[in-house]
């Protein structure tokens, strides 16, 4: 699986958009980009995933650059409840694929 690089921490004001970057310069054509978050002491929560195209759901948007070497997770209107550790994970397709969590970005949403 391709390695990812994320900032260690970020701050965002409540109500503003939170843009979380992720670099995955060694990604291959059949690797998905996945985003999860973990709020303290809870299980990881699935946010969104994509292969090549940009994706949007009720939680967030995922913007993948044309060369697929980086992506951005966008939370359009951050709230205090979005404070969490956000993980960007690249996963190769295969019969025994699994998530491998790194250190993620600690997002702090402030008043």
Partner 1 sequence: NAGVMQNPRHLVRRRGQEARLRCSPMKGHSHVYWYRQLPEEGLKFMVYLQKENIIDESGMPKERFSAEFPKEGPSILRIQQVVRGDSAAYFCASSPGQFPMSPLHFGNGTRLTVT
Q: Which is nearer to partner 1, 37 or 78 (CB)?
A: 37
- In the bound state with partner 1, the residue whose beta carbon lies nearer, of 17 and 39, is 39
Q: Is 29 in the site for partner 1 (CB under 8 A)?
A: no
Rounded Cα–Cα distance for residues 58 and 75 (Å): 10
- Minimum distance between the CB of residue 14 and partner 1, rounded to whole angstroms? 25
User: Restricting to residues 72-111, which ones interact with partner 1 according to CB under 8 A?
Assistant: 91-93, 95-104
Among 10, 19, 21, 49, binds partner 1 (CB under 8 A): 49
**Could you tell me the smallest distance in angstroms from the CB atom of residue 69 to partner 1?**
18
Q: Are strands 105-110 and 45-50 parallel, antiparallel or unpaired?
A: unpaired
For partner 1, the binding residue among 32, 59, 74, 108 (CB under 8 A) is 32
Residues ≥6 apart with Cβ < 8 Å to 69: 23, 24, 25, 27
Residue 64 DSSP class = E
Nearest to 36 by CA among 110, 92, 103: 103
């Amino acid at each position: 699986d391709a390695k990812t690089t994320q900032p260690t921490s970020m701050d965002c004001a409540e109500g503003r958009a939170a843009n979380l970057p992720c670099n995955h310069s060694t990604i291959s054509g059949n690797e998905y980009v996945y985003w999860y978050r973990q709020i303290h002491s809870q299980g990881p929560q699935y946010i969104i995933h994509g292969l090549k195209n940009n994706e949007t759901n009720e939680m967030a948007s995922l913007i993948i650059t044309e060369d697929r070497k980086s992506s951005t997770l966008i939370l359009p209107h951050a709230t205090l409840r979005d404070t969490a550790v956000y993980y960007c994970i690249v996963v190769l397709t295969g019969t025994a694929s699994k998530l491998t969590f790194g250190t993620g970005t600690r997002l702090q949403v402030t008043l």
